[in-house]
Chain A
Amino acid sequence: MPKVIPAPDELSKPFWDGVNKKRLLLQNCAACDAYQYPPRETCATCGSVESLGWKEVRGRGHISSYIVIEDGRLDRRMPDQPYNLAVVTLDEDPGINFYSNLPGTPVHQVPVGAAVEVFFEEVGPGQLIHEWRVTR
């Protein structure tokens, strides 16, 4: 079964529009230069609302830790079990992190600390998600 499909809303639409064009756009605050992910109505760093815009990042990161989902609760992912779930920190701002199933990395064989790069995976008609793979 495929992954669960994200449902963009008003706030997240620019992000998912970017992903669907294979670009990783994060909220960025013009007032304090902080990146923000997931997107919020206000800048969590300085509180600004009007200064929040979108800025493309390179999509390089590192694996900080991982688990293996062996007995999850999502109907759509049951056949995938066991599968990796890693946390990837963004090189441009390690305070930003993303989940990843690390496609291509065998289950249980996640190299913690390794470098990863973003790529985009189709999970529903016309809907991509950002995924990450270990760079060689």
Chain B
Amino acid sequence: MTAQSQYRWRRDKEGLGVWEHRGKVAVAGYGHSPVDRRWDETSMDQTLGAYSILACQKAMADAGVTPDQIDGVICCPTTIAGASGGAASNWAPRPFFDPPYDSEWGLTRVNAQWLIKQMNLRNVKYAPASAPTIGEMVGMASQAVGDGLCTTCLVIYPTGNLTGRYRRGGENAEDYAKGERQWTVPWGNHGGNDFINIFPHNEYCLKYGGAHDDLAPFVINQHRNGLMTPWGFNATHDVPQLTLEDYVTSRYILNPLRLWDCDRPVNASAAYLFTTADRAREMQQPPVYVLNHSQHNFKQRSTQPMLDEIETWTDFAARQMYEGSGLSAGDVDIFNPYDGYSTMTQFYLEAFQWHGVKRGDAFAFYADDIRVEGPHPFSSGGGNLGNGRTRTSMYTDSIEQLRGTAGRRQVKVRAETALCAFTTPSSGGWLMLGKYPS
């Protein structure tokens, strides 16, 4: 088992040309755990670790592979809340349990080594000790399989949530602001993509005309798609369909950012099985081919990223992805950008110009027919807003649409290519999938 910490797998520049492994890597399986609001702190079969094992088992069963065939495991080992997560993201100082729950591993964090041990995966040769979030892990796995570092690779994204209000406590309870926080926290900005995107969103409304609540049709449609996603939080918890009335009367978090612009933190895990195209064709499901992966990481000029920076960054991401996939906007059938806060999605939609949407056009597009049954089935997976903060529905929906197994969400338009991401405007990655390898 090698750490491969120096392995250069990222595609984060322009001018790299079409991806050298385009169509030679495929996604052959996926699996979701149940999506709970929080771990109940007693059910050891519902921990983040247990759910990650379950997701892996489902992904392997979906593909029709056995544990002995797994030779790559990539798992994001960090908590999604970060250092400001407080009591909702750390079990300590509460006493731990019997093995394998005798540390944070398996409770609030999961890594490849913990999973390999619990699942007795004996043939793993690629399992990096550190792995990025799902937005980049799918690229890491694609490149590793394409380069031959492994052939049958599980990618796992655990998203934990314990009792306690999200991001209360931890650094946010401290009297002093250290490091990067000294430039934001004294004025009340404790960080996160809600703060990062709400100011450019306000600038957007001023520049192009429009009001914050013009996001309502998009958010409502995300909930609608979520209710058609059998594994998602909303569908499994009888969450009623969000209405316009609900949205426009919901309380503000960072006014004008409303409650329903924010996703719901959950305790869940998902796994994907990446393999070579040749192997995928021998497996149980129709292969979903990887046509390109890309990453980006931008530094803002000053304290707060402004609209012009965000437009520049997302334009770069679009050019880079289209270049590496050999596709253009008109070729993309399924488009599942990130929606962890509703205020960032318009930046992606307009950068990638899906269905011809250009800068300033997003709100009009949202007000048109974006239902999955219609001509512009935008974000058909329902995203985080429709399914909880799993950050994975963008990938799963894309796979299902290309397989033709999306059920009630199956689009009526062509579904041969899919573009999906967990990303922020400044950092993350994109993945282009295809029903055909070329």
Contact = CB atoms under 8 A, between A and B. Distances in A.
Interface of A: 3-9, 12, 37-38, 44, 64-77, 80, 82-83, 85, 87, 95-101, 108, 112, 123-124, 129
A77 B167 CA distance: 14
B186 to A, nearest CB: 5
A66 B186 contact: no
A28 B148 CA distance: 48
26 contacts: A4-B176, A4-B177, A4-B186, A5-B177, A6-B182, A37-B302, A44-B301, A64-B203, A64-B306, A65-B202, A67-B198, A67-B256, A69-B188, A69-B254, A70-B253, A71-B251, A71-B252, A73-B172, A73-B190, A74-B190, A77-B188, A82-B255, A97-B304, A98-B302, A99-B184, A112-B206
Contact of A101 (B168, B188, B202, B253): B188
B177 A6 contact: yes
Contacts of A108: 255
Contacts of B182: 6-9, 12, 38
B304 to A, nearest CB: 5
A95 B84 CA distance: 28
Interface in B151-187: 165, 167-168, 172-180, 182-187
A65 B199 CA distance: 6
Contact of A70 (B177, B180, B183, B252): B252
Interface in B376-402: none
A98 B186 CA distance: 11
Nearest to B200: A65
A80 B188 CA distance: 10
Contacts of A12: 182
Nearest to A102: B187
B328 interface: no
Contacts of A101: 187-188
B186 A44 contact: no
A124 to B, nearest CB: 8
A105 to B, nearest CB: 13
A73 B187 contact: no
Contacts of B2: none
Contacts of B177: 4-7
A64 B303 CA distance: 13
B193 interface: no
A85 B187 contact: yes
Given A6-B185, A123-B186, 6 more contacts: A4-B174, A6-B183, A70-B254, A82-B255, A98-B302, A101-B187
Given A4-B174, A73-B167, A83 B188 contact: yes
B302 A38 contact: yes
B173 A6 contact: no
Contact of B178 (A7, A71, A77, A123): A7
Interface string B53-91: 000000000000000000000000000000010000000
Nearest to A65: B202
B248 to A, nearest CB: 16
B302 A68 contact: no
Given A73-B172, A74-B188, A129-B186, A95 B301 contact: yes
A73 B186 CA distance: 13
Query: Most chain-A CB neighbours within 10 Å: which of B173, B186, B256?
Result: B186
B206 A4 contact: no
B190 A9 contact: no
Given A6-B182, A83-B188, A123-B186, A65 B172 contact: no
A38 B202 contact: no
A75 B172 contact: yes
Given A68-B255, A73-B167, A7 B306 contact: no
B257 interface: yes
A76 B183 contact: no
A74 B185 contact: yes
Contacts of B255: 67-70, 82, 108
A85 B186 CA distance: 11
Query: Most chain-A CB neighbours within 10 Å: which of B183, B257, B302?
Result: B302
Contacts of A3: 186-188
Contacts of A77: 188
Nearest to B182: A6
A67 B343 CA distance: 13
A70 B258 CA distance: 10
Query: Most chain-B CB neighbours within 10 Å: which of A4, A95, A98, A129?
Result: A4
Contact of A7 (B176, B188, B206): B176
Nearest to B175: A5
Interface in B250-271: 251-257
Contact of A99 (B180, B251, B257, B303): B303
B117 interface: no
Instruction: Please provide the 7 A-B residue pairs with the shortest distance between their CB atoms, ordered closest to farther.
Output: A99-B187, A68-B255, A6-B182, A65-B202, A38-B183, A7-B176, A70-B252
B438 interface: no
Interface string B343-381: 000000000000000000000000000000000000000
A74 B198 contact: no
Contacts of B8: none
Query: Most chain-A CB neighbours within 10 Å: which of B172, B299, B301?
Result: B301
Contact of A72 (B179, B188, B206): B188
